[in-house]
Amino acid sequence: MIEVRLHGRGGQGAVTSAELLALAAINEGKYAQAFPSFGPERRGAPVIAFCRIDDKPIRIRSAIYKPDLVLVLDPGILRLVNVTSGLKEDGILIANTKYSGKELRKELGIKHPLATVNATHIAMEELGLPITNTTMLGSLLKAREIIPFDSLIDPLKKRFGRIAEKNIKVFTRAYQETELTR
């Protein structure tokens, strides 16, 4: 089983990202679940979402405490929350940041493998808004191909309708621009 924990802020799309990832996995014939965890719902408040993917039915229904992958949509969260808490020893931190993996590792003392991308920059250029959820899904699949890249295209089209092509573009661009630091 692959377990993913997503960190963001209310309104940034962490919950949507988890749902899209789960839908894409289900479309690939896998089992998946996606669910949020947050306190008082308000825009800008820290939000955590979870996604599990497996080849067999998933019976567990708790939060994810030992994720394989941690996805950080908002760079400010990196200094606000211990995002690597519980991350498996061989787990990967996927971060939206303007810094390189080497710089981030040095500044925050991160020991895990890193996948970094300036998702905010990509989203601003392509969408005109700093919404990084679909952008970061491209980075996640570059870090670890838990599902085929193309399997997210259909869920993106269904979810975003007329603006789907822009979301596919940021997703693809992030995949291409993600830097892996082991």
pLDDT tens, residue by residue, 89-134: 999 999 999 999 999 999 999 999 999 999 999 999 999 999 999 9
The CATH code of the domain that includes 113 is: 3.40.920.10
| Mean pLDDT of the 164-171 span | 96
Can you read off the two tokens belonging to residue 137?
Answer: 């899904």
What integer best gives the mean pLDDT of the chain?
A: 94
Rounded Cα distance, 38 and 49, in Å: 8
| Mean pLDDT of the 16-25 span | 97
| Exposure class string for 116-142: b at 16+ Cβ within 10 A, else e | bbbbbbbbeebbeebbbbbbbbbbbbb
For residue 39, what pLDDT is reported? 59
Say how many domains are in the chain: 1
| Segment 29-55, tens digit of pLDDT | 999 999 998 655 567 778 899 999 999
Residue 80 pLDDT greater than 80, yes or no:
yes
Residue 174 pLDDT greater than 90, yes or no:
yes
For residue 41, what pLDDT is reported? 57
Contact 75, 96 (CB under 8 A): yes
For residue 37, what pLDDT is reported? 84
Contact 43, 10 (CB under 8 A): yes
**H helices of 128-182, where?**
133-143, 153-160, 164-177
Phi then psi dihedrals of residue 47, to 5 deg? -130, 145
| Mean pLDDT of the 54-73 span | 96
Range of the domain at 85: 2-181
What is the model's pTM? Answer: 0.94
**Cα→Cα distances 10→44, 53, 100, Å:** 5, 24, 26
- Name the band, by pLDDT with cuts 50, 70 and 90, for residue 87: very high
Rounded Cα distance, 122 and 73, in Å: 13
Residue 152 pLDDT greater than 60, yes or no:
yes
For residue 22, what pLDDT is reported? 98
